[in-house]
Amino acid sequence: MTDRLDHAAANPPIGQDASSRSADVPDHLLTLDLSHSVIDPAGDTTMSDQYPPSNGNQPSWGPGNPPGNGGGPPKGNWNPPSPPAPPAPKRNWFARHKILTGIGALILIAAAASAAGGGGSSAASGSPSSDTSISTAGPTSAKSAASTPKTSSSPTKKPTEASARKPGIGAPVKDGNLQFVVTKVRTGVSQVGDEYLNQKAQGQYVLISITVTNVGKKSETFSDSDQKVQDAQGRTFSADSAAGIYLKDNQVLFETINPGNSARGVLAFDMPVGATPVSITLKDLSLFSGGTTVALK
């Protein structure tokens, strides 16, 4: 062991003298510690595989790699430490969430299939129906024409004028407990009364003869002033009670009629010359009565 150290001190590396080499060798290497030496059976003194502990700055070598000449890093199998491995690349969101990605893909596929199926079904439900109607119309047209009864294409006939007309002269009509029958109509009368007691019309008198019957169970009152006549122009005329006084045996001015009894008389209407009466509305004395209409033409 001493021979090795002396040899190392006597043969410094090229370009370095012995004094500088000795200065570079640590003191614990220059001082021989026999406690770590063993004598083999051949009589040679060798160093233990374990070197004395070094300070914090002294590198350690493994077995079989003693420090080389000059105190530098050991020769042989020593390798510098490898650089740290680069961090693993971070996976994207889809790779980290495989379940959610799979669910989303299934939803998209289902939506696309539904859209495609809906369009196809609508096209299938629309066009084949027209094709079917065209194909079946030819061979079955004769049969359908023979089996299906013909329907009239003419419009429904409107009610005849007679059926649309209101009850006319001679037809009984009723309002409340009073029943009316128009028996006669006279137009163009200029004066009513006799040569001594009379009244002249402003235009012309239209005289309407009626019969009023009480069909109820109590007495009813009839008043001529409640009766109205309509002309062809839609105008309405009231009865002239003063002219009615000059008419003989007139019982329909203001008359109380008992149940089952009838009153007969004439209603006088002063209308313009040339005016044509088309209907008359007859009613009882009730305030809530709408009256009933009789056609005069």
SS (H, E, C) 261-296: CEEEEEEEEEECCCCCEEEEEECCCCCCCCCEEEEC
The model's pLDDT over 39-92, given as tens digits with 9 standing for 90+, comes to 444 554 444 444 455 554 555 444 545 554 555 555 556 666 677 777 666 666
| Residue in this structure with the two tokens 């002063």, named with its chain if needed | 270
Q: Whole-prediction pTM value?
A: 0.46
Task: In whole angstroms, give the CA distance from residue 285 to residue 57.
Answer: 138
Q: Which domains does the chain have, with CATH numbers?
A: 2-63 (no CATH), 166-295 (2.60.40.1240)
The per-residue pLDDT for 27 is: 56
Whether the pLDDT of residue 17 is over 70: the answer is no
Q: What is the average pLDDT across 267-284?
A: 96
Give how far Cα 212 sits from Cα of 137, 178, 193, 215, Å: 68, 7, 23, 9
The per-residue pLDDT for 115 is: 72
Under a CB-based contact definition with an 8 Å cutoff, are residues 210 and 182 in contact?
A: yes
**In percent, how much of the chain has pLDDT > 70?**
52
The model's pLDDT over 190-240, given as tens digits with 9 standing for 90+, comes to 999 998 999 999 999 999 999 999 999 999 999 999 999 999 999 999 999
